[in-house]
Amino acid sequence: MNDDKKGRLAREAIKLHSAWILGVALLGKAANVANEDLTVPKYHGWENKTLKRQIGNLQDSMDTLCKFLLLNWKRSQLQSVSTWLAERYSDWCKASKPVFDLGRVHEIESAVGALGHRRWMDCPPYAQVLLQGFHGAAIRHPEYHLATDLALLYNLFRDSEEIIDEAQRAKKLHTSEHSQSLARSVILTCFNLLESFVTGLATAFRLENPTAPATTLDKLTDKGSSLRKRFLQYPEIITGKTGLLDENKPPLKALFGECKQRRDSFVHCEPGATPTKWGYVKEQEFHSVDAATVQTTVDLTCEAICLVWRVVHGKDRPSWLPEPGNDGRFPHVRVRLQAVETDAFRIR
């Protein structure tokens, strides 16, 4: 009988300790977390009295950690959350990979509740939660990475323009080809980001509202519609309100007018001087990309995303969209959470 009790206590300690370790991995190892605590001891060899004391320590540590890990944490959730985290810790150990896909945000939150990461960043329900050792979980989704691509490419474009200006002032031979390449890349990335953004809005709604009318869900899977049409219609479908956006006013008029026209001249290149049915020559648009055009496209892209974000979420801008500084450049994008300082237990 005593052996059975000892086995139950050991299993409970192993479960709690495994769950705590996974929680630390999700938040990022704080400086006051001892490295030796990140390995589960051989609890089956411990005495019952020591096991009971350790289980109490582990429960308190889990309670402290989960106040950061989950938005609406209640100690009454301890058993269910610890069981789920411990199971995923076992999967993580078996995978033996430096980066481990813990699951989608909506899957994890269905099991344990809203993630505390929402205090610092947007967590779309379709985003992947990736463990990166003990450096804190990454919330990976296309919009974040495309926004980072845009910031990097735009800053490089600004660098290339400055190099050209310096060469001109010094009366040195120079070329604008690299700058033109970056200009086209920036504009293409703007529209890739817009495409991902509207698709993300629709995907998030479908995941968060699975019982919505079938007609509504079908409208949000209409991939045959143009980007402009979906950009206008999806916010209305999601909010149930009409007249939210006016395509004949800034920023949408120019974004889906001149900017989209130039983007199309890159994607659907047509050499020669023959005008399209809309009256412009694609080859001419392809080669006439200056700094003002690039900046306008970037500015309008960010404005349009923020406009839709406000009508859908009631917030000024998504956390994943960097904001240009006073110099017009995008600041460095921090890609890692600061580890949360929590009270760590130590094995005595």
- What DSSP assignment string belongs to 93-156? HHH--SSEEEEEHHHHHHHH-SBGGGGTS---TT-EEEE-TTS--EEE-HHHHHHHHHHHHHHH
Tell me how far CA of residue 70 lies from CA of 32, 67, 135, 310, in angstroms.
20, 6, 18, 25
Q: Is the confidence at residue 332, as pLDDT, over 90?
A: no
Give the count of domains, the chain: 2
Residues 90 and 147 in one domain: no
Tokens of 335: 């890609």
Q: Is the confidence at residue 217, as pLDDT, over 60?
A: yes
What mean pLDDT is predicted for residues 89-100? 94
In which region does residue 328 sit, left (phi positive, over 0), alpha (psi from -120 to 50) or beta (all else)? left
Q: Is the confidence at residue 222, as pLDDT, over 90?
A: no
State the residue range of the domain holding 6.
Answer: 2-140
Q: Is the confidence at residue 279, as pLDDT, over 70?
A: no
Residues 148 and 129 in one domain: no
The pLDDT score that the predictor gives to residue 2 is 59
Q: Is the confidence at residue 336, as pLDDT, over 50?
A: no
* Domain-terminating residue out of 140, 175, 209: 140
> Sign of the CA dihedral 106, 107, 111, 115?
negative
Report the half-sphere exposure of 15 (CA within 13 A, side-chain side): 16
- Longest Cα–Cα distance in the chain: 92
Round to whole Å and give the CA distance between 37 and 254: 57
Q: Is the confidence at residue 342, as pLDDT, over 60?
A: no
Q: Is the confidence at residue 166, as pLDDT, over 90?
A: no
What mean pLDDT is predicted for residues 144-163? 94
Residues 297 and 171 in one domain: yes
What's the pTM? 0.88
The pLDDT score that the predictor gives to residue 280 is 73
Asked whether residue 105 is domain-assigned, the answer is yes
Q: Closest Cα to residue 329, out of 305, 287, 303, 294?
A: 294
Tokens of 105: 């945000």
The pLDDT score that the predictor gives to residue 19 is 98
Residues 205 and 282 in one domain: yes
